[in-house]
A and B are shown apart, each in its own frame.
Chain A
């Protein structure tokens, strides 16, 4: 069965510091997509970053980057220069045909 595990239910980081959110997944597929979505209190699920499994290069979007380790089935998200607006639930997700989400990590930004 395809599963996505986020082992950190909550994390806190000081404003302007760097934080890494962990995600592991289980699959027998070789071709798939991985995503990090952000869900602020407004509830809108916002795409943060996307990685195609066939690409070895780690995806980067401004202050957000991933560490994709395909053999280890690991897909962590690094947020640099954390800002107050980064406070939200972060969901790791895996997709072949449908999206499977992890349970999320709530990120607090400390001023």
Chain B
């Protein structure tokens, strides 16, 4: 079964440093998403991405965050200057079409980001 792959599985970074979280969506998928889950809290939507641009973003997704699809396979989330409160599990997801919830919406296994 096709998978969404995220690397690394765990990243520790110092406050103020930039981090890039990487995701490889399922190959024929066109819609990409990032979610995060702060420990003990809900999984929260961050951003959706289609056709090389952001289609929707949440209030959490401020200027410190950016997403990119640098090549045909990777989808990255960059946090420019990490804060302690950015510590969370970050999930990538992809779907085959804009009918996202109907067409193979799949989550990755997550990257646990720890900011110290």
Q: Do A and B bind each other?
A: no
Residues of A within 8 A of B (CB): none
